Amino acid sequence: MLTLRFFARLREQLETSQLAWPCCDNVEALIDSLQAQRGALWGELLRGANIVIAINQVVARRGQRLCDGDEVAFFPPVTGG
């Protein structure tokens, strides 16, 4: 299983902060599976041009391979400081 995490505006739009999800080959396949089971909004928001993806708390690319147990986070551009 993967642990999925969503933050800030994305967390509110998806009404989800954390989710356990079956493992997928890569982030692109993960988004396909979320879209198929949760609806088009998920695909649309998670493919947003600005959305940042982190795997195990390190910023990653959509094509990066996933392993069982990975933590995958999706979030909008950061605005701290």
Residues that bind other proteins (CB under 8 A): 5, 7-9, 50, 54, 57-59, 73, 75-81
Contact 58, 27 (CB under 8 A): no
Residues 6+ apart with CB under 8 A from 53: 27, 59, 60, 61, 62, 72, 73, 74
* Nearer CB in complex with other proteins: 32/75: 75
When the beta carbons of 37 and 69 are compared against other proteins, the nearer one is 69
Task: Tell me 65's DSSP state.
Answer: B
Residue closer to other proteins, measured from CB, 34 or 72: 72
Cβ 9 to other proteins, closest distance in Å?
4
